[in-house]
Structure 1
Amino acid sequence: MATVTTKTGQVVDRMVLDSMLRRRLFYTPSFEIYGGVSGLYDYGPPGCAVLNNIVDLWRKHFVLEEDMLEVDCTMLTPHEILKTSGHVEKFADWMCKDPKTGEIFRADHLVEEVLETRLKGDKEARGQKVVVDEEKEAKKKKKSKEAKAVKLDDAVVKEYEEILAQIDNYDGPALEKIITKFDIRNPATDGNLLPPVAFNLMFQTSIGPSSNMPGYLRPETAQGQFLNFQKLLEFNQQSMPFASASIGKSFRNEISPRAGLLRVREFLMAEIEHYVDPESGKKHTRFEEIKDMELSLLPREVQLSGSTKTVSMTIGKAVETGMVDNETLGYFIARIQAFLLRLGVNPKKLRFRQHMANEMAHYAADCWDAELETSYGWIECVGCADRSAYDLTVHKNKTGAPLVVREPRAEPLKVEEWQIDLDKKKFGPRFKKDGKTVEAAIEALSQDFREKLALDLEKQGKIEVDVAGVGSGKVELDKDLIQIEKRTRVENVREYTPNVIEPSFGIGRILYSLMEHVYWSREGDEARGVLSFPPVIAPTKVLIVPLSSNPAFRPLSQHLMMKLRRMGVSNRVDDSSASIGKRYARNDELGTPFGITVDFQSVKDNTFTLRDRDSTKQVRASEDEIAQALKSLVDGEETWEDIRQRLPEFTGQEID
C-alpha cells in the first residue's frame, strides 16, 4: 500500500488520509456526478481557505517584504508570443502508446514505475521487506508479470538504480533505448509500446469569432511579466534591480495525470521574475542575511553518479564553491526554504535538487527544485531558475521593442571600433530587393572580421561578404559602395538586457504535500485524524464550543464570534448536540488550531477556556485576554508555549 509517514512517525495508508480530505471537502474530483475528468479537481471550503492563506503568506513573504511589483496578466496567449518564447516547439513531454489498447503513458514515468516494480520484486526474491503500493496495483487491468518476485543480477540492480537517480535527464531517444534494452511494456497488458514521441503540453484554442488568431491557455505566468518589462521598469523609476510577481491559473495538458493534486491540468502558480544587471555578478544586497542558512542539496554531479544522497551545506558555502551559480539564485533558494518552513513543511522532507542538462528548461542557465517528500516520492513544488536574458532577448528581437535598461554612465566610455559606411545612393540600385538582406549581413559582421575586410579593401579595392539567400551566397563590394574605418565612439549611456532569476511555485502541490506533512492521529485512536496546520494558514483559526445547548451560552458565543471576526480571526460556532470531545475531533480533522469553550463559569465571570489542538492543553482567562492571545497566535507573534507561560492553565474538564 502507499503510505504516509506522519509527523509523529506513524505509518498511515494514504487512502485513509485521502478519504478524510475528500470527506471534509478539502478537494473533490471535478464533474464527479458525470464520472469526473482525470487531472481536474475542485477545492471545497477548507481547501479554498488554506489555499488563500498560503497565497496571502506568499504575498507577505515575497511581494511585500521584497518590494515586488505585482501584475495580473491574461491567461489567453496568442500563438506568436509562445512561438517566440520557444514553448510551441519545446514545451513537451515524451509519451508512448500501446497500439493495441490505445493507452498512453508518459515515457519517463513508465520507465520509473516498471524499474521500481522490478527492484521491489528483486527484494522480495532476496527475502527483504518491501512496501507494495496497493493503490497502483489495483488500477492495473490484470496482474502484470512485472510484479513477480524475480531475483536480478547485481549489475542490473545497479544499472536500474543509476537510471532512476537520473530519470529526469533522459530525452526521447534515450528513453526509447532504455525501453528497448530492458523490454519495458504496458504493465497492465504486457503489450509492446510504440517509440516515445514529443507531446506539447499546452491547451490550444482560438481567439475571436473568426478563429483566425490561434492561441493557447498559458502554461506559465512568466510571459506576461516579460512583455510588460519596459512599463514596469518605468513604473520603478528606471531603478535596477527589481522584481515583478504574478499569481494565477496556468494550464498544462498532462499526458496521464494519476497522482491526485500533484499532477493536474489546471493549477495555481505564483511566479517571481527578479531582474538583475549581468555585470553585477548577480550579487544580492541581502545575501548576508541568509548566507548561514543550512540546506539539504542534491547537485547534478551526485545524480549523474547514480546516487540521490543529499549534501548538507550553508547557502553561503554553496555559492562560494560554485555549486549554486550566484548570490541572487542562492538568496531566493534560501527564501523559498524559509517560506516552506513557515507553512509547516517538515524540514526532514525538504531538499533542493539541481536540474541536469537534459531536463533543464530551454530558457534556463541553472535551476534548483525545492522537492518535498510525499507518499508519491519526492515531488517538485518550487523551481528556482536562472533564465539568463533569454526571454527579454527573444521578444526584443522579434518585435523591436526596447526591452532593455538604459542608464547614464558615471564616466563616458570611449570605444574604438571598426565602423562601416555604405553609399546608399549606389547601394540601393546595385542590390535592389536584396538590399536589406545584404545590409543586415554587413551590419552583423564582427569587429575582427571588419578589421580583416578593411585591409583587403585597402589592398584589393574590393571585398567579398557571405550573404545567405542572395545569388551564390557571396556578394562583392568595391570602394565605391563601402568604406571601413577605425573610429572612436563615446558612450554616455549604457544599454543592457537584464538577466532574470525566477522562483516559480506550484501552490496546489505545496498544499497537498503540506497536508501529508502535518497529518497525524491520536495515540490509541488512529481513526481520529489531525491536521496540524500552523495557525497562520489554518482554514479556520478558532472553534467556539458552548458546553451544552443551555440558552445562556448563545449570547456569549455570538458575541465572541463577532468580536474575533472584527479582529480578523476566522472562527465558527459548533453548538450541535454532539459531545464536546466529538466536536473538537471533527475540527481537528479540519486543522482548526484553537478552541474556546463557553461554560457556566463564562456566564458568571466572562472567562473562557482556550484549547490548543495539538497538545489539548487549556488556559483560562477573560474575554479580552483570550481574544488578544488568539490574535497574537494567529499573527505569529506568540506561540502556544508563550500563552501558557502568561495565562493560567485550566484542568477542570476533559474535552478530548
Structure 2
Amino acid sequence: MAINGDSNVINRDAFRQAVVNTLERRLFYVPSFKIYGGVAGLYDYGPPGCAVKANVLAFWRQHFVLEENMLEVDCPCVTPEVVLKASGHVDKFTDLMVKDEKTGTCYRADHLLKDFCKDKLEKKDINITAEKAAELKHVLAVLDDLSAEELGEKIREYGIVAPDTKNPLSDPYPFNLMFQTSIGPSGLSPGFMRPETAQGIFVNFKDLYYYNGNKLPFAAAQIGQAFRNEISPRQGLLRVREFTLAEIEHFVDPEDKSHPKFSEVSNLEFLMFPREKQVSGEPAKRICLGEAVSKGIVNNETLGYFIGRVYLFLTYLGIDKDRLRFRQHLANEMAHYAADCWDAEIECSYGWIECVGIADRSAYDLRAHTDKSGVPLVAHEKFAEPREVEKLVIAPVKKELGLAFKGDQRMVCEALEVMSEEEAMEMKANLESKGEVEFHVCTLAKDVTINKNMVTISKEKKKEYQRVFTPSVIEPSFGIGRIIYCLYEHSFYTRPSKTGDEQLNVFRFPPLVAPIKCTVFPLVQNQQYEEVAKHISQILTAAGISYKIDMTGTSIGKRYARTDELGVPFAITVDSTSSVTIRERDSKVQIRVNVEEVASVVKEVTEGQSTWNDMLLKYNAPTVVDDE
C-alpha cells in the first residue's frame, strides 16, 4: 500500500478503518472487557477469529513440526525469576520510556520519534529540504540502533512533546516489560509471566536431547501465550500485552551449520533487505536465497533454510509476496551473542511490521542456563577412533589454600579452576620465574597472592573418545496475532453490489485458513430443500468440514454477501433434491454436482488436493452468476 502524499495517507487510514470495522462487526476480534471500557492491549477473539487462528496454527504445525519431525513441548506461562535472570530478561528486557512531565502519562520513546519522522515524510512538509528528508529517512532506518541518550537528543532536537497534552517529556529511561508475580502464598518465590516461550525449551534441552537419541541436529517447538507489559499499546492486534507465540529452537553443531534440505528452498527469490542497504538508504531488492547464503549475506545454510520455509509458510497463508520482505538486523541492533538475525516484515496500513524473527542465537542460552543451574546442557560427538589431545590441567592444592585463605578457600579454588588457558599459562610462567603472583578473585572482589605451592598447572596428553560441546540454536519466532492481522488486510477487498449502489466487503482467505469452509443455503423456504440441506450438513460434519447453514428467507444474493464478508470460500445452494450448485467466492463461478459428491469436492479443494480450476474442468461448462 502506498504511503506517500496526503491523499494516500487518508486512503490508507480509510482502508484500515474499513477492515477493522468489518472485523469487529463480524466478531473476528473485539476489545476485551468491552462493557467496562476495555483495557489497552488486550483483545478477545470471536468465533471466526478463533477459527482463523486455529487454522493458522494447524498449518504451522503441519508446515514446520511435522515436516521437520520437531519435538513439541508445552511449558508453563509462570516462570521462576532464576530462569529469566539467567537468560538476561530480568536485567535487559526493556524498552525506553518517556513521561509527560506534568501528567505522568508514559510513552515509548522510539514510537514518538518514529511517528514524528513518518508524519513529516508522508505529509511532504514544504519546509523540509531534501537534505532534511534524507536525515529523517536515515533516523527511521537506524531507529532500533539508537541509545537512550541518542533518542533523547533527537526528541529534544525535533521538539517532540506529549501527543495528547503537548507537555514536555522526560529523558528516555529503561522500563522492564515483564509482568511480575510470585509463586506460592508466601510471596518469597518471585516469578514472571513469560515474555517468550523459548526458555521452556532451553531448560528442557538435556531431556529433549536424550529423547532424540542423543543426536543432533534436532528442533523443539512450542505454541503458547506470552506476556509483555507494553508501555503504550496501539495498532490493534499488532502490539498487545498478551499474545500467542509459535517458536522453534533448532539445535545444531556450531562447527556444521549446513542443512540437508537447503536445496529445496535455495532457488526461492524474494525481497531481502541486508543491513548494508538499510544504512546506505537503498531499498530492499529481490535476491535468490541460494545466492544470499553463498555470498555470506545470510550467515549459514540452516538459517537460510528457515528463512525460505518462513517465506513459503506466509505466502501459503495468503500474505502478498510483494508486500513481504526479510530485513537483516543492523550490527548494533543485534544481540551481542547472535551470529545473524533476520525479520520477516509484512507491509500493511501501519507500514512494515515485524511478524517473524529468524535468528542464529549461537550457544548463548544453553551456556547461560548451564552456568546458572550447574547442569551441563551439552551434546556429544563420538569419534570413530580415539584422538590424542593436549589438555590443560589446573590442580589447586586445597590444603595450602585452606591455610592461606581459611573461609575464602572455596572461592579462590573455584576461581583458579575456571581460568582460561591463556590466564593459566601466564600464571604458570610467573610462578616459575617469581614464585608468586597476584590473582583477582571476582567473587571476593579483591586480589590475592598465589604462590607456587598452592596450584599445579600443566598440559597433559590424553586420549579423547568424544567431543563435548554446547550446541548453537537457530530460532524462528512467530507472532501469530501480527501475522493474522496482516493476513486480514491482505485478504480484504470490496466489490460493487449487483445494483452498483453499495460496496460489498470480501475477505479472500485461502481455503486453508478460512474460518468456515462452506455455507449451505436452500434457495427458497421449502421443506424438501431444507431436508436436503440438513442431509448435506450431516455429510459435511462426518467429513470434518466446517460449515454454516442458513435457512432464512433472505434473498440468495444477500446470503452470499454475508458469507463473502466472513471469507467463506464456497457456497452450496440447494435448488433441487438430487443436485446442488457450489459457488466460488471470488470468481462467483458455480458448478453443479450431485448431493453425495458435495463433501468430497469441498474437502479436495480446501485441503489442497485439487484446485477450483480442476473442479471447473471436471464438472464442465461453469456459468458466472451475477448474484449480488
TM-score (norm 2): 0.95
2:368 is aligned, of 394, 401, 405, to 394
Q: Shift in Å at residue 651 of structure 1?
A: 3.5
Query: Which residue pairs with 2:81 in the alignment?
Result: 79
Residues 281-292 of structure 1 aligned to structure 2 (within 5 Å): 282-292=257-267
The one-letter code matched in structure 2 to 1:647 is: Y
Q: What is the percent sequence identity of the aligned residues?
A: 49
Structure 1 equivalent of residue 608 of structure 2: 636
Question: Following the alignment from structure 1 to structure 2, what is the Cα–Cα distance between the partners of residues 522 and 455?
Answer: 83
d(CA) in 2 for partners of 1:471 and 1:120? 55
Query: 1:158-237 counterparts in 2 under 5 A?
Result: 158-237=134-213
Q: How far apart in 1 are the matches of 2:143 and 2:414? A: 44
Match of 1:613 in 2: 585
- Aligned residue in 1 for 2:512: 536
**Residues 352-501 of structure 1: matches in 2 within 5 Å?**
352-361=326-335, 364-468=338-442, 473-478=447-452, 480-501=453-474
Match of 1:241 in 2: 217
3-state SS in 2 of match to 1:436: helix
Change (3 A) 1:653 1:82: closer
Q: What corresponds to 1:257 in structure 2?
A: 233
User: What is the identity, as a one-letter code, of the residue corresponding to 2:515?
Assistant: P
Output the CA distance in 1 between the equivalents of 2:443 and 2:586. Answer: 74
Are 2:380 and 2:467, in contact at CA under 8 Å, matched by a contact in 1?
A: yes
Whole-angstrom CA distance in 2 between matches of 1:469 and 1:374: 52
Tell me by how many angstroms 1:236 deviates: 0.7
**C-alpha spacing 1:49/1:426, structure 2 compared with 1 (3 Å):** same
- Report the Cα offset of residue 450 of structure 1: 3.5
Q: Where does residue 285 of structure 2 map in the other structure?
A: 311
Give 1:76's aligned amino acid: V
Partner SS for 1:13: helix
With 368-377 and 98-107 compared, the bigger mean Cα shift is at 98-107
CA displacement at 1:90 relative to structure 2 = 0.8
Superposed CA deviations along residues 276-330 of structure 1, whole A, max 9, x for unmatched, are: 00011x11111111111112111112212234x1021111111111111111111
The residue that corresponds to 2:18 in the other structure is 16
CA distance in 2, matches of 1:96, 1:11: 27
User: Aligned partners of 1:68, 1:620: CA distance in 2, in Å?
Assistant: 43
The verdict on how the C-alpha distance between 1:470 and 1:58 changes in structure 2, with shifts beyond 3 A counting, is closer
Out of 562, 586, 597, the residue aligned to residue 625 of structure 1 is 597
CA distance in 2, matches of 1:580, 1:306: 53
Whole-Å separation in 1 of the counterparts to 2:586 and 2:352: 27
Residue matched to 1:136:
none
- Secondary structure (helix, strand or coil) at the match of 2:271 reads strand
TM-score under structure 1 length normalisation: 0.91
| One-letter amino acid of the counterpart of residue 235, structure 1 | Y
Match for residue 300 of structure 1?
275
Any conservation in 1 of the 2:145–2:333 contact (CA below 8 Å)?
Answer: yes
In structure 2, what residue type is equivalent to 1:633? V
- For 1:468 and 1:10, the matched residues in 2 are separated by 57
In structure 1, how many angstroms separate the alpha carbons of the residues matched to 2:270 and 2:3?
26
- 1:289 maps to a residue whose letter is E
Post-superposition shift, 1:166?
Answer: 1.9
1: CA distance, partners of 2:99 / 2:391:
58
For 2:94 and 2:442, how far apart are their aligned partners in 1?
32
Q: Which residue of 1 aligns with 2:243?
A: 267
Structure 1 position 520 matched with structure 2 position 493: yes
Quote the offset at 1:481 in angstroms: 3.4
Match of 1:510 in 2: 483
Deviations along 1:124-166, one digit per CA (max 9) or x if unpaired, are: 53xxxxxxxxxxxxxxxxxxxxxxxxx1233222211211122
User: Where does residue 38 of structure 1 map in the other structure?
Assistant: 40
Q: Give the CA deviation at 1:10.
A: 10
Q: Distance in 2 between matches of 1:80 and 1:469?
A: 19
**1:62 paired residue among 39, 61, 64:** 64
Distance of 2:243 and 2:396 partners within structure 1: 55
CA change 1:11–1:468 in 2 (3 A) is: closer
Distance change (3 Å), C-alpha of 1:108 and 1:576? same
1:345 is paired with a residue whose SS is coil
Residues 1:89 and 1:11: Cα distance change in structure 2 (over 3 Å): closer
Contact 2:13 2:349 in 1 (8 A): no
Counterpart CA distance in 2 for 1:616 and 1:504 is: 38
Q: 1:560 to 1:353 in 2, by over 3 A?
A: same
Q: Give the aligned partner of residue 90 of structure 1.
A: 92
- 2:527 alignment partner, SS class: coil
Change (3 A) 1:329 1:631: same
Native 8 Å contact 1:99 1:194 kept in 2: yes
Report the alpha carbon displacement of residue 649 of structure 1 after superposing the two structures with TM: 3.3
Determine if contact 2:396/2:417 at 8 Å carries over to the other structure. Answer: no
For the aligned residue pairs, the C-alpha RMSD in angstroms reads 2.3
Q: Which runs of 5+ in 1 are unaligned?
A: 126-150
Post-superposition CA distance 1:43-76 (Å, at most 9, x none): 0000000000000000000001110000000000
- 1:592-625 deviation line (CA, Å, top 9, x unaligned): 00011101xx22xx11111000000001121233
* Alpha-carbon separation, structure 2, partners of 1:435 and 1:568: 69
Q: Structure 1 pair 471/77, CA: closer, same or farther in 2 (3 Å)?
A: closer
Q: Structure 1 residues 596, 625: closer, same or farther in 2, change over 3 A?
A: same
Aligned length: 621
Q: Is the alpha carbon distance of 1:186 and 1:610 closer, same or farther for their aligned partners in structure 2, counting shifts above 3 Å?
A: same
Q: For residue 138 of structure 1, what is the aligned residue in structure 2? A: none
Q: Is 2:323 aligned against 1:349?
A: yes
| Deviation string, structure 1 residues 537-571 (Cα, Å, up to 9, x no partner) | 10100101100111111111011111012111111
- Are 2:324 and 2:347, in contact at CA under 8 Å, matched by a contact in 1? yes
1:483 shift after superposition? 3.0
Aligned twin of 2:111:
109
Is 2:538 the counterpart of 1:562?
yes
